[in-house]
Amino acid sequence: MTTKSAAAATRATVYGYPRQGRNRELKKAIEGYWKGRVTADTLRETAAELRRSNWRQLADAGIHEVPTGDFSYYDHVLDTTVMVGAVPERHRAAVEAGETDGYFAMARGTQEVAPLEMTKWFDTNYHYLVPELGPDTAFAADSTKQVAEFKEALAQGLTARPVLVGPVTYLLLAKPAPGVPADFEPLTLLDRLLPVYAEVLADLRAAGAEWVQLDEPALVQDRSPAELNAAERAYHELGARTDRPKLLVASYFDRLGDALPVLAKAPVEGLALDFTEAAAANLEDLAALGGVPGKRLVAGVVNGRNIWINDLQKSLATLGTLLGLADRVDIAASCSLLHVPLDAAAERDIEPQILRWLAFARQKTTEIATLAKGLAQGTDTIAAELAANRADLVSRSGSPITHDPDVRARAEAVTAADSRRSQPYAERAVAQRAHLGLPLLPTTTIGSFPQTSELRTARADLRAGRIDTAGYEERIKAEIQEVISFQEKTGIDVLVHGEPERNDMVQYFAEQLTGYLATQHGWVQSYGTRYVRPPILAGDISRPEPMTVRWTSYAQSLSDRPVKGMLTGPVTMLAWSFVRDDQPLGDTARQVALALREEVTDLEAAGTSVIQVDEPALRETLPLRAADRADYLAWATEAFRLTSAGVRPDTQIHTHMCYAEFGDIVQAIDDLDADVISLEAARSHMQVARELADHGYPREAGPGVYDIHSPRVPSTEEAVELLRTGLKAIPAERLWVNPDCGLKTRAWSETRASLEHLVAAARTVRRELPAS
């Protein structure tokens, strides 16, 4: 039982909510606006209705305090850039001509102007747009969006709390603007930025805000004394003002560590901390500190990043401990619910008993409200919920889905030799060059080609029974023929089949492996209007039959040039799924690797000479704290090698990574022992090429020269300049020419022109090379 004071104080809240709507209405409205089929007014009306719907759902679930400002057309960090007036100079004319079009120009670019760089939000698969700052950056407050959305919530009779990216995190996420020296540190702009935040906070208070949340997730990473001092200075300055609302400083994804005492001493009224397993040390550290007396503590005890039901009894025990460590304890998810799908109840194809193991955003809000009620009024008031929760947890732990003796025996039999190639790279490279006969600066693409409306319609028609399997496969064959023919005519050296049969690079494989569950409506935002349906990795993994051999072999039959086999690697299969939390990740990765190893072996036996095993999530999944990274990188790189090491020396193994900070993992990239790696590099101006060179990376690499996340068609001259930059870091005999990433989201018109320019650039630069 709890005290009356706890009962009076406890609130249920969340930090953010899925933006897209039940049927991805936001995606459809934005893309319609881009194509000129939806007006700006209609787009705004759609967005406003989605916000109202979200707030109604939260209030109906028992959430006492709803967030505002978390909603975004594209990205909340880009919204912050607008809020503080840090629009890059090259985009100012577009923003001044029209706020909405200018906003999207920063996100996507135009034919004339490049977009902002995009990278992963901490260790998630969400992408944010990187602020570009320099010593001449002049900030100016624009609280229009933040105030308007707060007032919308008030108009519905709700208690609302605006949520902003905090000033320290904003600067730590920023990069030097183009033309600014690379050693410029955006954090030096803090004193210039704080008055802008103070003005926004004052505007929100004037609008009626009692509390404002400032998100500082960057403080859960290893931070220098200077960075911690900046955080201390920021919150002392903001806290000292009298024209502000109460401040709730939020952190998530990991433990605060040395930043906890800094924030605990700051003159702010509340802290929000992650108390899930990933940040369990926060509880111990908070107790050692003596708690945060006099402050509001928002306890993130419901995992906001995964879809498994909460252990309510365990969470109540944590909350009971926290009651003595703060003036008031409120309950929340560990982070924004942006990272999970909207509603598990919409899933009709998952077995009902298994569905009871799952909690999407709507179910998580119910869990939060249940915990708040139990903490405030006593566990007797939620006895039925606790009993049902316990039964569901027991059902999951005892299910045969989660334990396959044959899979476990095979994983336990793995030896170190299984993850080593039979020859070192230098010897393999000679064999591969002789076997493949490729020119210097060979050209290729990353895998997928445009997923046309005709392809999506064919897939939908097959599901609905409007066409049979034979008719669908004829459509796939025709698409592969078109993709192969185009690549041959364009002059690409190593071809791909275009992946027309694949709905998603993870889901496609998950649907063919045991132990995975697929959803129909489990959409999660990756970036902008790009949504994915992460599969659910629920049990032990095995491969019943080949997954890619048929279509890869068909494509190879159409050309004398090598056609790459395309697989998604084991780390990415975990990272872009909702992965089981009842065993170590390394054990699950090994199971996936063994299943993929069978596929690699079958591809090689079918005559595939180049096999790409994509690992774009290797950097994304890197633990936020350096002390936790060695163990992760050990099992992650071992899983990749286990997947790929069983091939002959003359079979070339590729991998691919994109939209991350690669400098942190160059040694791990080396440890993969892939023969060729392709990486995103166009938006970052070949930064990764320099990082590979500084490391002394000895293998082949293709830093991307075509930014596929923008509708821009890069000119031949642009690609030539990027290749010349790449050659300063990587010698011609080891440099490949390729786009940043797969082409699934691009239109055919953009793709044709861009790849023609890419091939022309490679030919131009080849002619510039000295004769051998």
The SS3 assignment for 137 reads coil
d(CA 6, CA 4): 5
Angle at 85 between CA 83 and CA 88, to 5 degrees: 125
- Give me 210's structure tokens: 């009692």
Structural tokens at position 39: 């007006």
- Strand 676-679, strand 652-657: pairing: parallel
Which two tokens mark 438?
């490729």
Element (H, E) at 43: helix 40-61
Q: How far, CA to CA in Å, does 509 sit from each of 13, 501, 540, 647?
A: 36, 11, 14, 21
Cα separation, 337 vs 305, whole angstroms: 7
Q: Which are the catalytic amino acids? A: 709
Side-chain-side CA neighbours of 383 within 13 Å: the count stands at: 3
CA distance 610 to 436: 9
Q: What angle do CA 119, 122, 125 make, to 5 degrees?
A: 65
What does each C-alpha distance from 31 to 96, 99, 447, 456, 527 come to in angstroms? 22, 17, 24, 16, 13
Q: Widest CA span of the chain, in angstroms?
A: 85
- Rounded to an integer, what distance in angstroms lies between the CA atom of residue 551 and that of residue 599? 13
CB count within 10 Å of CB 385 equals 17
| Cβ neighbour number for residue 259 with a 10 Å cutoff | 22
Residue 116 · residue 88 · CB < 8 Å: yes
- Residue 564 CA to residue 758 CA, distance in Å, equals 19
Token output for 534: 């992460």
Interhelix angle 469-490/453-464, nearest 10 degrees: 160
Return the structure tokens found at 404.
Answer: 């396959």
Give SS3 for 611. Answer: strand
Cα–Cα distance measured from residue 322 to residue 306, given in angstroms and rounded to the nearest whole number:
23
Tokens standing for 635? 């099992």
Displacement of CA 374 from its chain's centroid (Å): 34
DSSP 120-143: E-TTSS-EEEPPEE-TT-------
Those residues whose C-beta lies under 8 Å from the C-beta of residue 583, and which sit 6 or more positions away, are none
Q: What is the DSSP string of 694-728?
A: HHT--SEEEE-SS-TTSS----HHHHHHHHHHHHT
Determine contact, residues 698/677, Cβ cutoff 8 Å: no
The tally of CA atoms less than 13 A away on the side-chain side of residue 209 is 34
